[in-house]
Amino acid sequence: MKKSVLAGILVLVLVVGGGLVWRFVLSPQRSGAAGLAGSGGPGGGLSYAKVEPLTITGRGGYSLDTVDLGEGKVPLLRIPLDSWGGYAALFAANGGPKPSRDSAFYRLGHFAVEFVPVEGAQVQLEGYATGKYPIIWASMDSLPLLYDALRQDKRVIPQVLGLFDWSIGGDGILLKEGIKGGLDLKGKTILTSSSTPYSFFLLWYLAQIGLSPADIKVVHIDDGPKALEAFRKTPGLAAWVTWNPFLKDALDPASEGYVKGSRLLISSRDANQLVADVYVVRRDLLLDKPEMMAAFVQAMMEGAALLARDPGPAFAGMAAFYKLPGGSAEAKEMLADVHIANFPENTMFFDAANPIGAQKIFLLSQEYSKALGSLGPEASYEPERSLALGPLESLARRKLFADQKNEIATSFNRKAAFDIADLENQRIVMKNDLRLYFEAQRLDFDVKADSEEVRQNLRLLQKVAEQMGFMGTTVVKLVGHLDTSKQAEFKARGQQAYVEASAQAKLISKRRAEFVKKLLVERYRIDPERIVTEGRGWDTPISADDPEKNRRVEVQFLSFE
C-alpha cells in the first residue's frame, strides 16, 4: 500500500558532470501515481535540480463546515487521507469514513469527522495552509522542514498532537546482486522514491555506517512501478529505497516484479521506531478549540483500543473508503507493516529522554537537513515548539487507558534461536569494527580510568547502545579478535603448538567480547538477551602490516525476519 507524506522531502539528485545537490519537493504518495517532481522509466525521467526551498503558496484561516446528525448542527472536521494502514485507529474511532453519531469524536467532543480521499501531498499541504484541512498527517522527521516553511504565519505553525503509527517493515533498502553490504554503496548510485521516510531512513542508515551523502549518488523516480522497473533493468543502480508492496515484489521469485539476486539490506522492521507518523493540527485551531482537540486525541486513543478489541468495523470502513477489491481481508493486510500506537506507546514516544522518540528524530532530521542545505545553517528549532502534548498529559492525569500495554517496547523477537550456528544464517543489517582499547594481555579495561583511550571506548559503546535503541528488533553479535603479533611465533613452534595457541586466542577474544557485553548490559541497560558473543582469535585479521589493529571487537546487527 502507499502513504502520502504530508511535508516536503529531501530528494537527492544526481547532477550531470558529477557531484550532488538536493532538491526539496513535495512527495506524491506511496503509490504508482506520477510524482510532482517528474518521473520516468529506465533511461529517462530522473530528476536533475538545484536546491529549492519548500514552497506553500496559499495561506488563510481555518474553516469548519457543519453537519446535522440529528441533534442540531455540529462542526465538521474534514481530514485528507491517502492509502495507508496506519490510519486504522482513525477509522475505528470514527466508525467508518463518514460523519456519524456513533463516532468517538462525536461522543467525546460533539463534533463530526469525515475522511476525504486525497492522494497528492501538495494538495493536502496546501489545504492545510489555507485552512481547508486543519489536521493532517506527517512523518515526525518532516517536522523541522514543515516548521521552517510555515513559521512566518503563526496561524499555521504545525503542532503535533499525537502519534498514530510506526512503520515496521513497510519501508526498506534493497541491494542489487554483487553489493555485499552498506559500505559497498560508497561511490554507487542509489534509487529513491521521493517520500520523506525514504530520504530520512537512507540518511540515518548512512550515518550509522560512517558514510555521508557526498559518498553516494542518488536519483529518484516518484512512480513506484516505474521505479521497480528501473531497479530491475538499470545495471548502474546498486540499491533502492522503497516500500511495500514493491519490497515484497522485488524479492519474490513468483512476482512479475522480481529482481533476480536482489536482497534486503535493512527495513523499518529492523529500525522499528525510526519512521514514525504523527497527526498535526494548525496552531490557530488548537488555540481556538482546545477542548475539541483534547477530545480528538482521546478519541484516537479509544480508536487504538477498539481496533485491538474488534477490528472488523474499521477494516470494513477502510475497504469501502479505499475501494479495495479484497474487502476487509485486504484492509487487514494493510496493517502487516505498521504498528498502531496506543496511549502508553504515545507516552513513551514523546518522552524527552527517549533515545528514539519524537525529540530525537526531530533533531536528527534537522541536522541532516542543515548539512544538506535544505535548512539554512542558522536554523535551530527546539522540538518542543512543534509539540502540543497537553491533551495527552491530561489523559495521563485522569489515568485513562491505564490498562493498555506498551507492546512495541518489547517488540524484539525473543523466539529467534541464539545459537551461534543459527546466527550465522541471519541477515547482517549493519557491521562495524570497533577498536576498543585493551592493553595487551588484559581482558578488560577500567571504565573510570582518566585516559583518552578509555573515553573513546565509552563513546563507541554509547554509539552501539544508541543504535540498539533504534534497531529494536535486532540481535547484536559481538565478535572478539586478537592481535596477530604472536601468530607467526606459534606457527614456527609446530602444528600442535599453533592449534593449541589458536584455540586459546579464540577464548581470550571471546572473553573480551563478553566484557563488552557486560558493559552494555550494566552501564547502558541493554537487554542481555539481545547480545551474543563469539571469539575468532586470529582467524580474520584486518591488517597484515599492523598486528595490533587486529585487536578489536566487531559489532554485527542481525535481523530476524
The three-state (H, E, C) secondary structure of 139-195, written as one string: EHHHHHHHHHHHCCCHHHCEEEEEEEEEECCCEEEEECCCCCCHHHHCCCEEEECCC
In this prediction, residue 16 carries a pLDDT of: 27
CATH fold, domain 65-168+274-410, is D-Maltodextrin-Binding Protein; domain 2 (3.40.190)
What's the average model confidence in pLDDT over 507-534? 91
Domain 8-55+169-267, CATH number (from 3.40.190.10, 1.20.1070.10, 2.40.30.60, 3.40.50.450): 3.40.190.10
Distance CA 127, CA 284 (A): 15
Q: Which amino acid is at 206?
A: L
Average the pLDDT over each of 94-103, 400-409, 495-504 and give the range with the smallest value.
495-504
Q: Which pLDDT does position 425 carry in this prediction? A: 57
What are the cell numbers at 88? Answer: 486504522
Cα 419 to its chain centre, rounded Å, is 29
Cα separation, 329 vs 315, in Å, equals 8
User: Among 281-285, 413-417, 475-479, which range has the highest average pLDDT?
Assistant: 281-285
Grid cell for residue 12: 537527492
100-104, 224-228, 294-298, 355-359: lowest mean pLDDT where?
224-228
Assess whether pLDDT exceeds 90 at residue 320.
yes
Residue 307 has a pLDDT of 96
User: Is residue 277 predicted with pLDDT exceeding 80?
Assistant: yes
Task: Please say if the pLDDT value at position 415 is more than 70.
Answer: no
> Tell me: the pLDDT tens digits for 77-96?
999 998 788 999 999 999 99
Same CATH topology for 8-55+169-267 and 65-168+274-410: the answer is: yes
What pLDDT score does 8 carry? 32
427 CA to centre of own chain: 18
Q: Which residues of 22-40 are buried (b: 16+ CB within 10 A; e: fewer)?
A: bbbbbbbbbbbbebebbbb
Q: Pick 425 or 277 by higher pLDDT.
A: 277
Comparing 250 with 28, which gets the higher pLDDT? 250
Cβ 342 vs Cβ 327: under 8 Å: no
pLDDT recorded at residue 419: 54
Give strand pairing partners of 552: 481
Residue range 445-504, pLDDT digits in tens: 888 888 898 888 888 899 898 888 888 878 889 999 988 888 888 889 888 888 888 888
Residues in the chain: 561
Mean pLDDT across 360-379: 82
**Considering only CA atoms, which of 278, 277, 295 is closest in space to residue 286?**
295
Using CA atoms, how far apart are residues 535 and 556, in angstroms rounded to an integer?
13
Reported confidence tier of residue 412, pLDDT bands at 50, 70, 90: low
Domains of the chain by residue range: 8-55+169-267, 65-168+274-410, 420-559
* Per-residue confidence (pLDDT) for residue 193, from 0 to 100: 65
Secondary structure tally for the chain: helices H, strands E:
18, 18
pLDDT greater at residue 101 or residue 529: 101
Q: For 219-233, how does the pLDDT look when each residue is reduced to its tens digit (9 = 90+)?
A: 877 677 888 999 999
Dist. CA 239–CA 21, nearest whole Å:
19
User: Confidence band (pLDDT; 50, 70, 90) for 42?
Assistant: very low
State how far the Cα of 437 lies from the Cα of 330, in Å rounded to an integer.
53
How sure is the predictor about 6, in pLDDT bands with cuts at 50, 70 and 90? very low
* Mean pLDDT of all residues in 509-513: 91
Q: Does the pLDDT at position 164 exceed 60?
A: yes
The residue type of 390 is: G
pLDDT at residue 442 greater than cutoff 50: yes
Please tell me the distance from the alpha carbon of residue 254 to that of residue 18, in angstroms, as a whole number: 38
Q: Are 194 and 28 in contact (CB under 8 A)?
A: yes
How far is CA 282 from its chain centroid?
25
Is pLDDT at 289 greater than 60 in this prediction? yes
pLDDT band at 400 (very low <50, low <70, confident <90, very high): very high
Query: CA 429, CA 267: separation in Å to the nearest integer?
Result: 9
- Cα–Cα distance, 411 to 178 (Å, whole number): 32
Place of cell 553489493: 179
> Mean pLDDT throughout 180-198?
78
pLDDT tens string 127-154: 999 999 999 998 899 898 889 888 889 9
**CATH class given for the domain over 420-559:** alpha beta
What is the residue-averaged pLDDT of the chain?
A: 83
DSSP 363-375: HHHHHHHHHHTSS
- Characterize the bridge pairing of strands 112-117 and 531-537: unpaired
Residues 190-218: what's their mean pLDDT?
77
pLDDT score recorded for residue 372 = 67
Q: How far is CA 379 from CA 197, 363, 370, 374, 382, in A?
A: 21, 11, 7, 10, 10
Considering the chain, what percentage of its residues have pLDDT values greater than 70? Answer: 85
Work out the average pLDDT over 421-437. Answer: 72
Residue at 229: amino acid letter: E
Read off the amino acid at residue 147.
Y
Q: Is residue 53 over pLDDT 90? A: no
At residue 541, the pLDDT reads 87
Picking from 201-215, 376-390, 423-437, which range would have the lowest pLDDT averaged per residue?
A: 423-437
User: In whole angstroms, what is the distance from residue 475 CA to residue 471 CA?
Assistant: 9
Instruction: Classify strands 135-139 and 189-192 as parallel, antiparallel or unpaired.
Output: unpaired
* Maximum alpha-carbon separation in the chain: 96
